[in-house]
């Protein structure tokens, strides 16, 4: 059979066109033409990070590492007084152990002033046990001469005996712009605790929505997260001071009421961080995962 030059040319042009058509229909593995990812850049990282220090560093405004120092790192502020404290091995480096003790800072931290602290995240690692009799004030942005602080990180260690290690009541509260109080409670979900167990606790507050969350080991455990806006919004009152492990009634010479519901903290604290922003959920989980890995 003979083919003319025109017929042969038309055949090959059609074949090229059909081949190109099928090629254009194949799904590209990189439709946005993104650069290749080097896997070695993620070696040794957890959730994309090599250290907790890499998470929202610009928003970290107060930090206690407890690496052989009781100072707040950002301002280099030493405590005014302490009681029954010592250094131990922590989640990341050293930690502070309190045996019925506290750290008291009679200082107005700039990072905790009214206009500086609207929304926040507080992240901390603790070793704690229940005691069946007294509450524990893990941390307080204290108001001189006032029993309740602007922010009280309360642990209901009074609710169960020390033998109960699968139930810790977390009951933080804050003072409002209207002069009232708002709180939260983990009514249904609880972290594991114990004298030798490190537990990661986080509070977040969004001043735009009035959402006050509490987290334990990377899980949102709060039962009453929506606290309202308007007069219910958080306010960091001035002047303020800062206490770890106690309230004023437990510091000699600072008693403000006859309330005896709290005991100075028996437990350990590490990596206390205060951010002036709400960390996204994934970053809260990253802080937990990094801490578990000692990073």
Per-residue pLDDT tens for 177-194? 999 999 999 999 999 999
Instruction: Reply yes or no on whether the pLDDT at 247 is more than 80.
Output: yes
Residue 33 lies in a domain: no
Residue pair 199/291 in contact (Cβ under 8 Å)? The answer is no
How many independent structural domains does the chain possess?
1
What is the average pLDDT across 111-126? 98
What is the number of alpha carbons within 13 Å of residue 41 lying toward its C-beta? Answer: 4
pLDDT of the residue at 120:
98
3-state secondary structure at position 138: strand
pLDDT of the residue at 264:
98
Confidence label for 16 from pLDDT (cuts 50, 70 and 90): very low
The reported pTM is 0.86
Q: HEC profile for the chain?
A: CCCCHHHHHHHHHHHHHHHHHHHHHCCCCCCCCCCCCCHHHHCCCECCECCHHHCCHHHEEEEECCCCCCCECCCCECCCEEEEEEEEECCCCEEEEEEEEEEEECCCCHHHCCCCCCCEEEEEEEEECCCCCCEEEEEEEECCCCCCCCEEEEEECCCCCCCCCCCCEECCEEEECCCCEEECCCCCCCCCCEEEEEEEEEEEEECCCCEEEEEECCEECCCCCECCCHHHCECCCCCCEEEECCCHHHCCCCCCCCCCCECCEEEEEEEEEEECCCCCHHHHHHHHHHHHCCC
Instruction: Reply yes or no on whether the pLDDT at 34 is more than 90.
Output: no
pLDDT of the residue at 53:
97
Residue 288 lies in a domain: yes
CATH number, domain with residue 104: 2.60.120.200
Instruction: Reply yes or no on whether the pLDDT at 117 is more than 90.
Output: yes
pLDDT of the residue at 12:
45
Residue 30 lies in a domain: no
Residue 50 lies in a domain: no
Residue 79 lies in a domain: yes
Q: What is the tens place of the pLDDT at every residue in 40-78?
A: 455 579 999 999 999 999 999 999 999 999 999 999 999
pLDDT of the residue at 30:
57
d(CA 62, CA 23): 57
Average pLDDT, the chain: 90
Residue 36 lies in a domain: no
pLDDT of the residue at 44:
72
pLDDT of the residue at 87:
98
More confident residue, 26 or 287: 287
40-54, 129-143, 243-257: least confident range:
40-54
Domain that holds residue 253: 58-292
Residue 2 lies in a domain: no
In the chain, what percentage of residues exceed pLDDT 90? Answer: 85
Confidence label for 142 from pLDDT (cuts 50, 70 and 90): very high
Q: Is 253 left (phi over 0), alpha (psi -120 to 50) or beta?
A: left
Residue 107 lies in a domain: yes
Instruction: Reply yes or no on whether the pLDDT at 8 is more than 60.
Output: no
pLDDT of the residue at 227:
97
Q: What is the tens place of the pLDDT at every residue in 199-220?
A: 999 999 999 999 999 999 999 9
Instruction: Reply yes or no on whether the pLDDT at 134 is more than 60.
Output: yes
């Amino acid at each position: 059979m003979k083919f003319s030059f025109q017929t042969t040319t038309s055949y090959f042009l059609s074949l090229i066109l059909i081949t190109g058509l099928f090629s254009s229909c194949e799904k590209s593995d990189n439709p946005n033409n993104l650069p290749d990812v080097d896997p070695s850049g993620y070696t040794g990282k957890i959730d994309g990070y090599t250290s907790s220090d890499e998470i929202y560093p610009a928003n970290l405004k107060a930090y206690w590492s407890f690496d052989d120092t009781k100072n707040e790192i950002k301002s280099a502020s030493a405590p005014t007084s302490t009681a029954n404290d010592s250094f131990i091995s922590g989640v990341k480096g050293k930690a502070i152990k309190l045996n019925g003790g506290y750290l008291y800072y009679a200082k107005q931290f700039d990072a905790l002033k009214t206009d500086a602290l609207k929304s926040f995240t507080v992240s901390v690692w603790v070793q704690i046990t229940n005691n069946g009799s007294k509450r524990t004030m893990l941390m307080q942005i204290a108001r001189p001469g006032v029993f309740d602080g602007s922010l009280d990180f309360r642990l209901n260690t009074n609710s169960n005996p020390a033998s109960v290690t699968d139930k810790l009541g977390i009951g933080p509260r804050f003072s409002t712009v209207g002069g009232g109080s708002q709180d939260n409670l983990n009514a249904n979900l609880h972290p594991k605790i114990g004298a030798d167990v490190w537990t990661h606790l986080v509070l977040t507050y969004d001043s735009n929505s009035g959402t006050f969350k509490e987290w334990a080991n990377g899980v949102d455990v709060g039962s009453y997260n929506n606290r309202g806006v308007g007069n219910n919004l958080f306010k960091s009152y001035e002047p303020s001071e800062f206490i770890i492990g106690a309230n004023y009634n437990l510091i000699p010479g600072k008693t403000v009421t006859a309330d005896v519901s709290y005991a100075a903290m028996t437990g350990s604290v590490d990596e206390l961080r205060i951010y002036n922003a709400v960390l996204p959920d994934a970053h809260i989980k990253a802080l937990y995962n990094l801490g578990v890995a000692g990073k």
